[in-house]
Amino acid sequence: MLKILATDGLDKSAVKELEALGHEVHEQFYEPEDLKEALKDYDVVVVRSATKVREPIIDAAAEGGRLKMIIRAGVGVDNIDVKYAEDKGIKVRNTPNSSSASVAELVLGHMLSLARFVGISNVTMRNGEWNKKKYKGVELAGKTLGLVGFGRISHELAKKASALGMNVIYTNRSGPKDDYPQYAYMELDELLKKADFVSIHTPAMKDGKALIDAEKIAQMKDGAYLINCARGGVVDETALLKALNSGKLSGAGIDVFEVEPAKNTDLLNHPNVSVTPHIGGSTSEAQMRIGEEVVEVIKSL
């Protein structure tokens, strides 16, 4: 029997299945100092993006001698010091197939909202404004979508965008993908110059700096749109706001922020910004798939 801690929640069906297998599951969020102590009593910890498992927490868990595995219930593992944990004998796993479709659909949702003023129309119409002439939008069909990073989420998004008639280009740190000849590979600087919509799909930078900073935004097409449903901090929010205010960018779709809950009110309230509160993987279907993958990972322990 394993004792399992889910710090950021877990689908109810997964909890029931784990309990049916004889395991004990606790769902509770801990602040970092408290988590260090708590993990001494668990065999497995399941985290989402809210919980950061850094070296001091790993040290405490290793000292306790009980923790066998850290599972990231989602795609990225940049909130976990993976190599450090594995060097301490603690396995690290994720659920890479679970939320790709959900995040890809949210990216499309932001793109459509920006292109057709859906989000801001919901605000202004409820304020009694009828801005029919003001909201002249653009169609996605025929536009070029530039994908920065080409993992599972990007693959899903590329398929969906292609079905809408978009031209898809991508860049990737490991170079072109031979399995996807229908999409054109190019270096980041070239992609930024050609894309009408740029969608970010990378983990956080190791040095903590923004991948898309003022210099990169300056390389983008005038009037382009920038979407970030990947990681907060990958886009420089100050530079982004400046580009929106100047008209360099027509709009931005943002699901992740440098500080969460988001506090950048100038960005949140900008009329050309579509915002959501880090809900990329927050669909019933994705959470069920995440739970199923978590169960399979634990079964393999």
Q: Which residue in this structure is represented by tokens 């740029």?
A: 198
Rounded distance between C-alpha atoms, residue 281 and residue 126, angstroms:
29
Annotated catalytic residue 278: yes
Give helix then strand counts, H and E, for the chain. 12, 12
Residue 89 parent element (H or E): none
Contact predicate 44/5, CB 8 Å:
yes
Catalytic-role residue among 55, 129, 260, 296: 260
Catalytic-role residue among 110, 231, 270, 289: 231
Q: Which amino acid is at 212?
A: I
CA angle (150, 152, 153) in 5-degree steps: 85
Q: What is the DSSP letter of 203?
A: P
Residue 250 parent element (H or E): strand 249-254
Q: Report the half-sphere exposure of 35 (CA within 13 A, side-chain side).
A: 25
Rounded distance between C-alpha atoms, residue 22 and residue 153, angstroms:
34
Q: What is the DSSP letter of 223?
A: T
CA angle (240, 228, 207) in 5-degree steps: 80
* Cβ partners under 8 Å of residue 39, min gap 6: 5, 45, 57, 60, 61, 64, 66, 67
Annotated catalytic residue 23: no
Catalytic-role residue among 155, 278, 289, 293: 278
Contact predicate 235/253, CB 8 Å:
no
What sign for the dihedral angle of Cα 6, 209, 235, 204? negative
- Enumerate the active-site residues: 231, 260, 278
